[in-house]
Structure 1
Amino acid sequence: MPDARTAPRPPEPGAWREDVLGPEFRARTLLLPDGAEAVLVRHVPSTPGDDGGAPGRQGAVARTAVLYVHGFADYFFHPHLAAAFAGRGIAFYAVDLRGHGRAWDAQVSAGGDPNQVHDIAVYARDLDAAAAVVRAAGHERLVVLGHSTGGLVAPLWAAARPGRADALVLNSPWVQLNKPRPVRLAATALVEAVGVVAPRTVVNHLDDGYARALHRAHGGEWDFDAAWKPHEPFAVRAAWLRSVLRAQRRLARGLGLRVPVLVLTSDRSTTDQHLTTDTVLDVAHMRERARRLGGDVTVRTVAGGTHDLALSPRPARDAYLTAVLDWIGALP
């Protein structure tokens, strides 16, 4: 795929244009109420459109649409995921949140840091805008699929905006800092103190081992832009981490979601088996906090899954996709 620095510029607000993933995908810039920008991507074969894209396979708008929300220092680059949903008659959309991937340049040009904001609560505006476009396309049901940090943002948004989503699927959601309790307490104290007075202070770095292991250049299966999903340690800033930890504490108190939720995790967490275990987060944290999401929560374990279960080697990838598609298919 094209390098981020030579890729086509994001489309004009409101206009769909061919995406960096090729003719089966189109992208649209979403202008947000605070002047920021996110980018919505749609899978042409499964979604309706007036720009050359065809409606769903039966010539009608699909009843169910999925909106994919990526993780930290990440973006949507998963054509196989869109194809899997399309194969079940489900429309597929994805959003690159402000400062990420296709929306990177707009935030950096405005003086912001890529992949980070001072308060992740602002991502609710990105999801509002994306969900509004998806709903306007005529889909009756919206399922939001959040991965990692997206798996934290999505349930908080759904709790604050009842009725916007009809169901949630959370792929390895980031519900707690993957550190021993004393380190978590120290990190919380640090970012609470620093995050307000010096919000851009670098307090940590995102390890690059997992992203490298996934990429074809290093023996993995996947081709993604290393500028948008960094292969080098990426700076984590105080205000952003402060807001993440606050959001995790909010989730831990219970969200009371009234929509069905599916939570999927790998079967193990390790520190070095990047492709077949979760080396980014602790799966035990996810399972423990899943029950605090709401009253209708299903938890599934994917043996041999990596952190992004959709990028797992087979047969774990197939098991993940089957579990998600079957669960959505069984929704009333």
Structure 2
Amino acid sequence: MGEFAEDTVDGEWRPDILGDGFEYTTLHFEDDDEGPVSATLVRFRPDSGGGTASTTTQGRVRAVLYLHGWSDYFYHRRLAEYWHEQGVHFFALDLRRFGRSLRKWTTPGFITDLTEYDEDLTTAKRRIHDDLKALLGDEADVELVGMAHSTGGLVMSLFAARHPETFAALILNSPWLEFYGSTPLRNTVGSLLTPLARRNPRQLVKLPEVDHYWRSLSREADGEWDLHPVWRPRLAFPIRAGWLLAILNGHAQVSKGLNIQTPILALYSERSKLGLSFVPEMMAADSVLDVDVNLKRVLSLGNNVTVVRIADGMHDLLSSSSDVREGAYAAITRWSQGYLR
């Protein structure tokens, strides 16, 4: 793929940028004030090797739907392979205006209400069910597990609270559940943003621009990942007033309690290393979130929350060094053996 992915027609799957076994399809929605709107569903369906995704002993078909974070897209080939080895079908969603769903006329990542993503997630769920029934037969009973990273963890948690029938469980990788610092700071920033966001939701919010998280990920710097230069830029997408207010409103909802009834696994790094300049310590710590602040909020998600701290983990635990990320996968396996057996 070039700078932007090509649209598919309804029902069509095309080879994906990740190579063998990966395909994508476009989810089309109604136009907005910028033009056509779409999200992109990616599936992993290897021809052979590594295990077999199948039905459970009670005839259910288990699948995982993965959701990326801010200024991000799905690039974790190892994650798809991991779930395939567990006998689970794997799908990932690039939300509207992110990754494979970016188009030249769109404002990257822009949204004014996180409920807009309900259409993306609901449509993805329906497409997954249709896809697996076509593969395995109409009698297949599809059980969907949600998995999400960072801002995607906030989006998926709020969606799960509004649509409790969607996911059988949630696995959250460094979910962003609270603003930096404290609730009073969030309230103050929200009060200042509200009139600006109403007047001009696309107004840029001037914040320090840093590249240290990109540096920790990209093979072009200190990381080990091949990142698409447009879909995962060196500097994050510009922050706009309407988007930031939507995030703050989401944090406020979490702070009041979401009462999610399904089991939740929340994985965080053991520590944060925040700053405006890159330092080597950021390769073994969360350089994006204040972990302690978010840990105080995570139990607001529901009554069945398991928290695991990963030593030397970066913000995206599954993009950390190989031994660290395999430790995160081991934690997911242990939890899944109890809750997803």
Q: TM-score, normalised by structure 2?
A: 0.87
Distance 1:21 1:325 in 2: 24
Is contact 1:213–1:220 with CA below 8 Å preserved after alignment?
Answer: yes
Answering whether residue 292 of structure 2 is matched by residue 284 of structure 1, we say: yes
Which stretch of the first structure deviates more once superposed, 112-121 or 274-283? 112-121
Question: What SS does structure 2 have at the residue aligned with 1:140?
Answer: strand
Match of 1:38 in 2: 39
Over 3 Å counting, the alpha-carbon distance change for 1:171 and 1:233 in structure 2 is: closer
User: Pairwise mapping of residues 91-170 of structure 1 onto structure 2 (< 5 A)?
Assistant: 91-105=89-103, 108-109=104-105, 112-136=106-130, 137=132, 138=140, 140-170=142-172
Over 3 Å counting, the alpha-carbon distance change for 1:162 and 1:181 in structure 2 is: closer
Amino acid at match of 1:102: R
Amino acid at match of 2:301: L
Amino acid at match of 2:328: Y
User: Pairwise mapping of residues 63-74 of structure 1 onto structure 2 (< 5 A)?
Assistant: 63-74=61-72
Match of 1:49 in 2: none
Match of 1:258 in 2: 261
User: Pairwise mapping of residues 264-303 of structure 1 onto structure 2 (< 5 A)?
Assistant: 264-271=267-274, 272=279, 273-303=281-311
Match of 2:137 in 1: none
Deviation sequence 1:1-54 (CA, Å, 0-9, x none): x5x42x651322321111111121000101235662100000012xxxxxxx68
Answering whether residue 222 of structure 2 is matched by residue 219 of structure 1, we say: yes
Over 3 Å counting, the alpha-carbon distance change for 1:246 and 1:182 in structure 2 is: closer
Question: What SS does structure 1 have at the residue aligned with 2:91?
Answer: strand
Shift of 1:326: 2.5
Question: What SS does structure 2 have at the residue aligned with 1:234?
Answer: coil
Deviation sequence 1:181-240 (CA, Å, 0-9, x none): 665344222211211111111114463210122100113111111211110253100001
Match of 1:11 in 2: 8
Question: What SS does structure 2 have at the residue aligned with 1:264?
Answer: strand
Is contact 2:54–2:88 with CA below 8 Å preserved after alignment?
Answer: no
Amino acid at match of 2:244: L
1:244 is matched with which residue: 228, 244, 247? 247
Over 3 Å counting, the alpha-carbon distance change for 1:103 and 1:170 in structure 2 is: same
Match of 2:211 in 1: 208
Distance 2:329 2:183 in 1: 33
Is contact 2:11–2:25 with CA below 8 Å preserved after alignment?
Answer: yes
Is contact 1:146–1:173 with CA below 8 Å preserved after alignment?
Answer: yes
Question: What SS does structure 1 have at the residue aligned with 2:43?
Answer: strand
Is contact 2:52–2:84 with CA below 8 Å preserved after alignment?
Answer: no
Q: Which runs of 5+ in 2 are unaligned?
A: 133-139
Shift of 1:309: 0.5
Which stretch of the first structure deviates more once superposed, 164-173 or 318-327? 318-327
Which stretch of the first structure deviates more once superposed, 321-330 or 262-271? 321-330
Distance 1:92 1:234 in 2: 27
Over 3 Å counting, the alpha-carbon distance change for 1:200 and 1:140 in structure 2 is: same
2:312 is matched with which residue: 297, 304, 319? 304
Superposition RMSD on alpha carbons, in Å?
2.2
Q: TM-score, normalised by structure 1?
A: 0.89
Shift of 1:174: 0.7
Shift of 1:269: 0.6
Is contact 2:219–2:225 with CA below 8 Å preserved after alignment?
Answer: yes
